[in-house]
Amino acid sequence: MDIIQEPGKPDFVLLDNLTLEAFMENLKIRFQKGRIYTYIGEVVVSVNPYKAMNIFTPEYIKDYKGREFWEKPPHIYALADAAYKSMKRYMKDTCIVISGESGAGKTEASKIIMNYIASITNVSARAEIERVTGILLKSNVILESFGNAKTNRNDNSSRFGKYMDINFDFKGDPIGGHINNYLLENPGLSTNNLVKEIFIPSTSCYLVQQNKR
């Protein structure tokens, strides 16, 4: 199985000696071989490659669809798939928390996850799925134009927190969504001046709170 040929340890729990040095060394060995993802159990540690990687193709999506974590080399698709599977299996709300310092790649990761979910859901409802995920992804452009700024660490840094909901029907197809923004960091504007909530019902999209200026 290809996971055996992985450089370094694909999961940090496999390190014999879990020191900070060993952790960083493993991350470096893997990154030098183009492996930007490493697990800690069911947590995915990701290193921003700052360049286009050939690991987000339809073939990769097909490869990870419906597979278990341990079957394939670490990838954010495996995490997205695990969350989706667990929602479908147990009919329970599932959430993915993405955290890291500025420029770590959180916003990109959320887009990669949404693209993956859009690609693996039911083909018969493709048009509706593309409509919902299209709105979720495209609304990023609006939010980024209001709430992003260039900083020393990131040319396109989100200066606000974002909570995104995707709603699924009983078959597991996305039928709506919701994006909440909070903690806008801008001394000149109050949060009322940002488009605060985008609500995507199953039929159309509307902005709940508009720019009041």
Ligand X SMILES: Nc1ncnc2c1ncn2[C@@H]1O[C@H](COP(=O)(O)OP(=O)(O)OP(=O)(O)O)[C@@H](O)[C@H]1O
Shortest reach from residue 51's CB to ligand X, in Å: 6
- Which DSSP letter does residue 2 get? G
Distance (Å) of CA 87 to CA 92, 107, 112, 121: 5, 22, 19, 13
Shortest reach from residue 75's CB to ligand X, in Å: 11
Is 100 marked as binding a ligand? yes
Secondary structure class of 13 (helix, strand, coil): helix
Shortest reach from residue 130's CB to ligand X, in Å: 22
Instruction: Report yes or no: 53 and 76 within 8 Å, Cβ to Cβ.
Output: no
Instruction: Give the largest Cα separation in the chain, rounded.
Output: 58
| Antiparallel, parallel or unpaired: β 37-40 and 157-158 | unpaired
Only segment of 9-17, 101-109, 164-172, 187-195 that touches ligand X (CB under 6 A): 101-109
**102 touching ligand X, by CB under 6 A:** yes
**66 touching ligand X, by CB under 6 A:** no
Give residue 94's identity as a one-letter amino acid code: T
**140 touching ligand X, by CB under 6 A:** no
Give how many residues touch ligand X by CB under 6 A. Answer: 18
Instruction: Report yes or no: 181 and 207 within 8 Å, Cβ to Cβ.
Output: no
Secondary structure class of 97 (helix, strand, coil): coil
Is 103 marked as binding a ligand? yes
**104 touching ligand X, by CB under 6 A:** yes
Site for ligand X (CB under 6 A): which residue of 6, 7, 45, 48?
A: 48
Interaction pattern, residues 145-184, with ligand X; x per rule: CB under 6 A: ---------x-xxx--------------------------
Is 9 marked as binding a ligand? no
C-alpha to C-alpha distance for 107 and 157, rounded to whole angstroms: 9
**57 touching ligand X, by CB under 6 A:** no
Site for ligand X (CB under 6 A): which residue of 3, 24, 53, 207?
A: 53
The CA-based dihedral angle spanning residues 41, 44, 47, 48, taken in that order and rounded to the nearest 10 degrees: 180
- What residue ranges bind ligand X (CB under 6 A)? 48-53, 100, 102-108, 154, 156-158
Binding site members for ATP: 100-107
